[in-house]
Amino acid sequence: MDTTIQNDERVIITGLDTGQDDYNYSMTELAELAQANHMEVVQRVDQVIDRPNPATYFGKGKVAEIAELAAANDVATIITNDELSPSQLRNLEDETGKRILDRTALILEIFATRAQTKEAKLQVQIAELQYRLPRLQTSASQRLDQQTGGGSGFTNRGAGETKLEMDRRTIQHQITHLRHELAAIDKSEETKRKQRAKSNIPTAALVGYTNAGKSTIMNGLVRRYGTVEDKTVFEKDMLFATLDTSVRRLTLPGKKDFLLSDTVGFVSKLPTNLVESFKSTLAEAANADLLIQVIDYSDPNYEEMMQTTKETLKQIGIDNIPMVNVFNKADKTEIEFPVLEGDDQVVISAKQEESLDLLVDVIRKHLFKDYVEAKLLLPFSAGQQVSYLNEHTNILDTEYRNDGTLLTVEMSPQDAQRFAQYQV
């Protein structure tokens, strides 16, 4: 069966409504995922049922209906809202004569086309191979061949089973090889993270649902507080526009530096293998001092999206890190903005400078709450120390005295300890 994806391929999306509260929301999201994969959704088919059919996912009559719709609408691919078992996938393809793409495979295809860095590409390749491994199948004649031959042992197995095992070993070897490559990259990235940690620069990570506006916020802050060399990140109004984690160093007024990372977005039913593969990419979030959850406030399902983010963060072991909730895209609603709600919730539009100012104030209060104000009396011979303070701390007042330079300084706890001998 041809598995080549063409731009604007016509597809039918399908799902089972087994009584779950978020069913319509997940089907809407499935349509958006298809569109993100350059597909045109021409029909949506739902079946209300207590549980999936173990053989064909849908009931027999619904399978026939879907096959007829696919033929009538010149559709080559049918997408299901859930991950299918290998037998369900094979049986549905046999019954409909069409390519069946389950939700997991759809997300993997999107990730495969969007990955840019070597790390992301390796992660996606591993997840794809892990998905394929239990779904390897032989031709009909080879499946019959598996039943031939007696006795036990590899040499007595049918030709189909022999080929199947060879294919499995090939994929397992590929996965092992790719994991070794990824481990080498992870080691290099971990070294970079440790070097950043030694610098005592606080870190914040943008997390949240895909297409909530994380990259727009990142770019807005980079343009205002980044260095000349800093590049903005790719942003577009689509699911999974960016997959690669980007880290930028930002300098706020008062010489307060921090690192901001833009991480891969989440989506409901994110494939387990993919989450596992992207743990290293999300290490920036796991090591952050502050998480900034960006939420699309204009989406009626934003509460479900927040729950998905919470569950995904827990799944990858990110817990007990302070979090700020940023309700973005308020310009698409009737809600007033920018507004600060308590210490850890802000309503903004990432495209508005006033909103970004408010967000920066919130970030500053969290990341630099331990900064202290101190008076330092440095002798005239301590010119090197004065230069460091001028470059790295916020000098509030300078007074030249007979016995040296008296500075009123706002600085990090680490710098306060470093210059403790000069405090008065």
User: pLDDT tens, 355-401?
Assistant: 999 999 999 999 999 999 999 999 999 999 999 999 889 999 999 99
pLDDT digits (tens, 9 = 90+) for 52-78: 999 999 999 999 999 999 999 999 999
Contacts of residue 154, Cβ cutoff 8 Å, sequence gap at least 6: 162, 165
pLDDT at 345 over 80: yes
Amino acid occupying residue 102: D
What is the tally of helices (H) and strands (E) in the chain? 14, 14
CA distances from 277 to 183, 271, 274, 283, 374 (A): 11, 10, 5, 11, 46
pLDDT digits (tens, 9 = 90+) for 154-202: 445 555 567 888 888 999 999 999 999 988 887 776 676 666 556 678 9
First-to-last alpha carbon distance for the chain, in angstroms, is 79
- 236 pLDDT tier (thresholds 50, 70, 90): low
DSSP-assigned beta bridge partners for residue 325: 293, 345
Between 203 and 246, the more confident residue is 203
pLDDT at residue 138, as a whole number: 43
pLDDT at residue 141, as a whole number: 36
- Residue 125 CA to residue 108 CA, distance in Å, equals 9
pLDDT at residue 277, as a whole number: 62
- 27 pLDDT tier (thresholds 50, 70, 90): very high
- 5 pLDDT tier (thresholds 50, 70, 90): very low
CB-based contact 296:302 (threshold 8 Å):
yes
Model pTM score: 0.78
Q: Which of 29-33, 192-196, 415-419 comes out lowest in average pLDDT? A: 192-196
- Residue 325 CA to residue 316 CA, distance in Å, equals 19
3-class SS letters over 93-162: HHHHCCEEEEHHHHHHHHHHHHCCCHHHHHHHHHHHHHHHHHHCCCCHHHHHHCCCCCCCCHHHCCHHHH
Strands 323-328 and 99-102: unpaired
pLDDT at 140 over 50: no
pLDDT, averaged across the chain: 85
> Which structure tokens are listed for 308?
């998905």
pLDDT at 86 over 80: yes
Amino acid occupying residue 396: L
Q: CA 20 from chain center: how many Å?
A: 25
**What's the angle, vertex CA 236, arms to CA 232 and CA 241, rounded to 5?**
90
pLDDT at 144 over 50: no
Indicate the angle between helix axes 86-96 and 60-72, nearest 10 degrees. 50
> Which structure tokens are listed for 233?
């990140």
